[in-house]
Amino acid sequence: MFRKLVFVSSIAALCSCGNSSTETATAPQAAEPVKDSTSVAAAQPENDMADFKFHKLVLNIPSPFEIINLLPKTGMEFNKSLINPTDNSSKYLSSFKKGLNYGVYGVDMIYLSTNDQYSDMKKYFATTRKLAKDLDAGESFDKIIGSRADKNVDSKDTMNKIMDDLYTEMDVYLKSNERLLTSTQITTGSWIESQSITMNLLNGKDKNTNNAILFQKVLEARNELKELLGLLKEYEADKEFKPLIKEMNDLGKIYNEITTNDIDKALMNKITEKLNSVRNKIIS
């Protein structure tokens, strides 16, 4: 279910590992709402239509975790150059940039995990934890995760289980703190990063029995983007979001050029180039 998108992109919770001295034996407790009137959460206005579209999106589109998890299974070799370097995080000064890249780094951590790149995981944990704290979420995430991620960082199966456990609590946290704008930023960053990694790996390759499922995911991404653009329409008046939303709409027009179940290499390259352009604006 795509509703796990919020959880996946909010995997920055894992960056809170190591702050608890004991392992939590039972399911983690839901985080309490942030009450600081100066917090990012408190500053976000209500938008009933955006709320409706967000929850519709969450219910109807698959998680970026699914496609990232498929990459090594389909023979795609790991390419570290496709993830956002942690050094870039110091450039993200606005809550807008932090929300977007919070989603980006969450997908990057999943990409590292599914490719057994554990040596880089802790550095990405630290980076996403910093973003989580800046978005008023660090303390709540510490309560959810405790030391579980730190103790199991080199276990793919356990890490995936922790991610699944985290989703439920993340959903409670985001709803209880009315984090719709931040959630939308996270969702956008997550979707772009997962598609960018996938398309750069797939671009120029011929369709075969091993990677056919990835080509199918590209077709499905066309409809996913339509759903996401419907949500982003509610934020077109936001000065920071507006330029990116325009780029996303332009990307949607290119995806709409897909008219058959077979995508030629020229169109694949066109989509990849536009994805890279949008992503570069997000991570710059």
Task: Kindly state whether residue 24 falls inside one of the protein's structural domains.
Answer: no
Task: Kindly state whether residue 127 falls inside one of the protein's structural domains.
Answer: yes
Mean pLDDT of 21-34: 39
Please choose, from the candidates 10, 63, 8, 29, the residue with its C-alpha nearest in 3D space to the C-alpha of residue 145: 29
Percentage of the chain lying above the pLDDT 70 cut: 64
Q: At what angle do helices 48-60 and 212-232 cross, to 10 degrees?
A: 170
Q: Which of 27-41, 48-62, 241-255 has the highest mean pLDDT?
A: 241-255
Structure confidence by residue, pLDDT tens digits, 127-174:
887 888 888 876 655 665 555 566 655 565 666 566 555 544 555 555
Task: Kindly state whether residue 27 falls inside one of the protein's structural domains.
Answer: no
CA 136/CA 93 separation, integer angstroms: 14
**Greater model confidence, 156 or 104:** 104
Structure confidence by residue, pLDDT tens digits, 168-215:
455 555 555 557 788 888 889 989 999 999 999 999 999 999 999 999
Host domain of residue 100 = 4-19+47-283
Average pLDDT, the chain: 77
Task: Kindly state whether residue 229 falls inside one of the protein's structural domains.
Answer: yes
Q: Which pLDDT belongs to residue 135? A: 83
Helices (H) and strands (E) in the chain, counts: 12, 0
Task: Kindly state whether residue 38 falls inside one of the protein's structural domains.
Answer: no
**Greater model confidence, 91 or 53:** 91
Whether residue 278 is predicted with pLDDT greater than 60 in this model: the reply is yes
Whether residue 1 is predicted with pLDDT greater than 60 in this model: the reply is no
Task: Kindly state whether residue 29 falls inside one of the protein's structural domains.
Answer: no
Task: Kindly state whether residue 28 falls inside one of the protein's structural domains.
Answer: no
Whether residue 31 is predicted with pLDDT greater than 70 in this model: the reply is no
Please choose, from the candidates 168, 196, 204, the residue with its C-alpha nearest in 3D space to the C-alpha of residue 67: 196
Q: Which pLDDT belongs to residue 12? A: 38
Q: How many domains, in total, are found in the chain?
A: 1
Task: Kindly state whether residue 231 falls inside one of the protein's structural domains.
Answer: yes
Q: Which pLDDT belongs to residue 16? A: 36
